[in-house]
Structure 1
Amino acid sequence: MSEKKVRHILALSGGKDSSALAVYMKDKVPEMEYVFCDTGDELQETYDYLDKLEFYLRKKITRINSDRPFSHYLKLYRGVLPDSRTRWCTRMLKIKPYELFVGDDEVVSYVGIRADEPYRTGYISTKPGVRAVYPFRENNIRKADVFRILEESGLGVPAYYEWRSRSGCYFCFFQQRIEWVNLLERHPDLFKKAMEYEKNDPLTGERFTWVEGESLQELSMPHRVAQIKEQHEMRQAQMKQDRSNLSLGKIFESEEDDGEMPCLMCHL
């Protein structure tokens, strides 16, 4: 009886690190499978970039879809929006479909965690047949190298990096307030859809909002938008001053986000 073939899978998020890993691994593992767990609520910029990456790789990127949309699970969770503690959106729309795709096969999972991210472990499946490997860590690939890999490939970074720091759904709760403002100005239709998911519980008076302590309707008020922009510009000016004596490589290495870490299946 022949031994079962081991599958090699690289899961893409639409972000810079997993995309750079796909470029880095091109032609190194001929049987590599490239997959993207599509929630159906990604930015158009993400889909456009995946198309470019697919063309570069000369290999199909398999789109994996959940059997149910976000709205179904939101009803299941009684209108309670996902947050950094529950993260049910990642579990139901990313991890569950991915594990169904993997099945019971023996899999080597390629994860784009960099050498300058010692605090991250990555998504490790509970399935016994899945083994994670970290080529960037093994070869000392850092943030500056990721940008270099993408620029030298001709792909560059996804267009959403002009106004957003991460990939993921348009309503991702990890967005900063300035990114919500940018969504409002660049994709007002998506901002409106995200706003419609928020609600007040008439029985308890509890508010379910994407941003802690503030609804998107409140955030979108002209005076509030102006305030958020002003605060963001002040922070950017302070960061620029603090980094004026750093090399470009050190700047890249220091640009890690504050607070809780995002879901790697979505943002890596």
Structure 2
Amino acid sequence: MTEHHVLGLSGGKDSAALAVYMRQHHPELDIDYFFTDTGKELPEVYEFLGRLEGFLGKPILRLNPDRDFDFWLRQYGNFLPSPNTRWCTRKLKLEPFKQWIRPWLTAKDKVISYVAIRADEDHREGMVTQDSHLTVRLPFREAGVDKIGVLEILEASGLGLPKYYDWRSRSGCTFCFFQQKIEWVRLKRTHPEEFEAAKTYEKTALEHGSPFTWTQRESLGELEQPVRMAQIEADFTLRRERELANRRPNPLRTVDQEPVDIDDLYLEDEGGGACLICHK
């Protein structure tokens, strides 16, 4: 029986660290690395994937080259995706992966998919499959690698974190609806052209009867008002300072202190969360 080993990359830290880990600990495996491109990724994501390719010494396959976010938005009548209607994850991430491996499964080949769920993420599970020829493996959970362990892997490899971690804690689309409001503010400051594009999508969607804006109970036009942006930034600074004050550094770890991800400061009414396949 032919075996195929595959590892999906989101452009985020966990999946990148898993790729490094598998190359270092299982060099005997010929792993196909893939990235499902929505066509709306941050430029920092593409830059990081390029550096990762250099480390791995092999290309990262790009899936989904023809039907990007704009194509599927038209198919859905300009209705924006939302946490409760995540057609973007299904059409731009899950289905391209299933189509890619379908010939192998049809041929009764064995497919092993490696997913970057950490040991400290008990609440998360990998993709549930009904096909006996597809196996999902969680190497970090099996090896006890947690968030600090991921950071240590990336630091030791010389890759470090993707540059967008300077201002945002997620990979994926520039206008991901799971972003918290501080991430929208920082998107406007860091990539104003992408913020304007997101506003255009929102306006077009509303004109077509979509009930959703990108962020809960607030349009981007309202969010970008200077007083509102200042309020969001001040509130986030206070939450971050409280979180840092409550943390205790571990002297036994090589990483001095775990950085505060924006998702660590999640507020229920400010977005937050993630699609597993996009965010890891």
Matches within 5 A, 1:150-165: 150-165=154-169
Q: Could you list the per-position Cα deviations for residues 24-46 of structure 1 after superposition, in whole angstroms to 9, with x for gaps in the alignment?
A: 00051431111111111110000
Instruction: Tell me how large the CA RMSD over aligned residues is.
Output: 2.3
Equivalent residue number for residue 120 of structure 2 = 116
In the TM superposition, residue 69 of structure 1 has moved relative to its aligned partner by 2.1
User: For the Cα contact (< 8 Å) 2:35–2:60, is it kept in 1?
Assistant: yes
Equivalent residue number for residue 33 of structure 1 = 32
In the TM superposition, residue 23 of structure 1 has moved relative to its aligned partner by 0.2
Matches within 5 A, 1:1-268: 3=1, 5-26=2-23, 28=26, 29-65=28-64, 67-105=66-104, 106-199=110-203, 201=206, 207-243=211-247, 245-247=248-250, 252=258, 257=264, 258=266, 261-268=273-280
Q: Could you list the per-position Cα deviations for residues 40-73 of structure 1 after superposition, in whole angstroms to 9, with x for gaps in the alignment?
A: 1110000000000000010111011254221222
CA shift in 2, pair 1:253/1:110, >3 Å: farther
Distance 1:155 1:37 in 2: 21
CA shift in 2, pair 1:114/1:217, >3 Å: same
Unaligned runs of 5+ in 2: 105-109
What letter corresponds to residue 43 of structure 2 in structure 1? Q
Count of residue correspondences? 263
Counterpart of 1:26 in 2: which secondary structure? helix
Distance 2:279 2:236 in 1: 22
CA shift in 2, pair 1:186/1:36, >3 Å: same
Q: Could you list the per-position Cα deviations for residues 157-183 of structure 1 after superposition, in whole angstroms to 9, with x for gaps in the alignment?
A: 100000001111101011111110111
In the TM superposition, residue 240 of structure 1 has moved relative to its aligned partner by 1.8
CA shift in 2, pair 1:188/1:201, >3 Å: closer
What letter corresponds to residue 96 of structure 2 in structure 1? P
User: For the Cα contact (< 8 Å) 1:66–1:94, is it kept in 2?
Assistant: no
Distance 2:117 2:208 in 1: 44
Distance 1:67 1:8 in 2: 24
What is the TM-score when the length of structure 1 is the normalising length?
0.90
Distance 1:261 1:51 in 2: 27
In the TM superposition, residue 84 of structure 1 has moved relative to its aligned partner by 1.2
User: For the Cα contact (< 8 Å) 1:144–1:252, is it kept in 2?
Assistant: yes
Counterpart of 1:109 in 2: which secondary structure? strand
**193-202 or 129-138: bigger deviation:** 193-202
CA shift in 2, pair 1:261/1:225, >3 Å: closer
User: For the Cα contact (< 8 Å) 1:142–1:253, is it kept in 2?
Assistant: no
Distance 1:267 1:135 in 2: 17
Unaligned runs of 5+ in 1: none
